Amino acid sequence: MKLDLTARQKLKISQKLAPAQQQKLKILAMDTQELLQFLESEQLENPILEFDSYSAAGQEYTSLGEWMGYSAPADPEESGIRESGEYCPEIPAEEHPLLSDHLLSQIEHLRVPPELLIRVKALLPYMDGTTGYFQESRGYLQAVLSCSDGEFEEAAGLIRNMEPAGVGAFDLADCLALQLKRKGEYDETLGQILSEHLEDLAGGKLSHITRTLGISTEKARNYLRMIRNLDPKPAKCFGRQAVSYIIPDLRAVKEEGRWEITVRDGGQRRIHLNPTYMQMAGSAREEALQNYFKEKIGRAEAVIRAVEQREETLIRIAGFALSRQECFALRHGQRIRLTMRQAAEELGLHPSTFSRAVQGKYIDLPTGVCALRELFPGSNEKAEAGKRQELSKEEQMIALLESLIHGENRSRPLSDMQLSDLLSKKGFTAARRTVAKYREIAGIPSAARRKGIAFLNSSGKN
């Protein structure tokens, strides 16, 4: 017994992965949004890393604020998700008030002169209901009101001082400045960054900002952190229902009889070693400084290699899957039986590595977005019935879940509780939490996320 324990301890130690390998696996498991957030965080900590430009899912963001990772947080009540994670399709989403109604409700608590109230109400229709920005210039709006400069600034200023902070702005820079002033964090340098260097900030060109403004890299990073904590669309939760969007990690198109697959983040094409800091590293003479650059360069190169390897692995996996599931991908037929273990063996990948790569990833096919995991069905309902004795209880449960979810109404996906009821009718007793556990093992997204995929697909292909 003692020898067996010692042997197992030695095996455990020998199997411990090196830090570089651990990082590769961590990056491989990231979805697009997680990877972008990781790379942005790395850049803040490592000046050697630099970005040319930012994009998500192969598309430019429609605003700098969106590039910075801002998005509407899904409201649990809006999306039909309880805090426990259970999807409740029978509970209607709460309707949010219009931005104009929200602002008027605040004015009611103020002692506002009638003429000022008239001007404020006249400005409200010119505000974007989702960003909170004025959609016209100061000059245009003042002409509409037929008032003096002071009267216009008084009316607009009243709106600009309301909640949420940032409403009544005329552009993104103005919106961010309003929020910083409300927090008491605004200063002259921040004002310059917002008015003159937002493009540089979006491009990760901190070195250009530091040289132009004469500030340290650490101060520039602190400013970036402050800006990233702001909301570029302060009115985003008014007058609409939030939809949980899926950002596909891969895109596949059929061209001239061949599948062309791209990884939508394009990470390794955007990140590179900062030439300015590389030059500084080459001229460093002090040992401490040399060691600093050596460590930072090594880490940056490791990140770039890991991102490149992630793309190569995802393309290999998706290409293999589509070569087997082409009829399903083009809606010409059903999926064929193809397990992840089978695919991993044929591709020469370790099953755990394969699982990390597939978990939580989505692929944009000509017929719509689906979870990459869907291309690797462990079995189908007919095969499962004949092979039930060969499968463990867990494998049977996962196979049945896949079959049930594959046949569900995509616009009204089955909740874990509904799946539990259906499984019980097939002879399996499983509580909702057990269903959720097996669903996660199978890499199947929650009902809320499946509903988001259906919404994205129903909106049409660009």
What is the structure's pLDDT at 371? 87
According to the model, what pLDDT value does residue 188 have?
92
Q: How far is CA 363 from the centre of its chain?
A: 14
Residue at 441 is within a domain: no
Any domain includes 142: yes
pTM (predicted TM-score): 0.46
pLDDT at 458: 56
Residue 22: phi, psi to the nearest 5? -60, -40
The residue whose two tokens read 């909740």 is 415
Per-residue pLDDT, 453? 67
Distance, in Å, from the CA atom of 288 to the CA atom of 81, rounded to the nearest integer, reads: 52
Side-chain-side CA neighbours of 430 within 13 Å: the count stands at: 28
Closest listed residue to residue 304, CA positions, set 264, 266, 357 = 266
Task: Encode the chain in three state secondary structure.
Answer: CHHHHHHHHHHHHHCCCCHHHHHHHHHHHCCHHHHHHHHHHHHHHCCCEEECCCCECCECCCCHHHHCCCCCCCCHHHHCECCCCCECCCCCCCCCCCHHHHHHHHHCCCCCCHHHHHHHHHHHHHECCCCCCECCCHHHHHHHHCCCHHHHHHHHHHHHCCCCCCCCCCCHHHHHHHHHHHHCCCCHHHHHHHHHCHHHHHCCCHHHHHHHHCCCHHHHHHHHHHHHCCCCCCCCCCCCCCCCCCCCCEEEEEECCEEEEEECCCHHHHEEECHHHHHHHHHCCCHHHHHHHHHHHHHHHHHHHHHHHHHHHHHHHHHHHHHHCHHHHCCCCCCCCCCHHHHHHHHCCCHHHHHHHHCCCEEEECCEEEEHHHHCCCCCHHHHHHHHHHCCHHHHHHHHHHHHHHCCCCCCCCCHHHHHHHHHHCCCCCCHHHHHHHHHHCCCCCHHHHHHHHHHHHCCCC
The predicted pLDDT at position 107 comes to 83
Nearest to 201 by CA among 172, 231, 221: 221
How far is 424 from 404, CA to CA, in rounded Å? 13
pLDDT for residue 52 = 59
Specify the pLDDT at position 74.
37
Report whether 420 contacts 375 (CB < 8 A): no
d(CA 237, CA 340): 40
Tell me if 169 is assigned to some domain: yes
Question: 154 lies in a domain?
Answer: yes
Q: Which whole-number Å values give the CA distances from 316 to 104, 139, 249, 312, 358, in the listed order?
A: 56, 56, 14, 6, 11
Q: What is the pLDDT of residue 452?
A: 67
Residue 182 lies in a domain: yes
Domain span at 173: 99-228
Q: Does 318 fall in a domain?
A: no
Whether 202 maps to a domain, the answer reads yes
pLDDT of residue 245: 53
Confirm if 224 and 189 have CB atoms less than 8 A apart: no
- Is residue 405 within 8 A of residue 359, CB to CB? The reply is no
How many structural domains is the chain composed of? 1
- Cα dihedral 92/96/240/172 (nearest 10): -150
Residue 320's pLDDT is what?
93
In the chain, which residues have pLDDT < 50? 1-15, 53-95, 241-244, 266-268, 379-391, 460-462
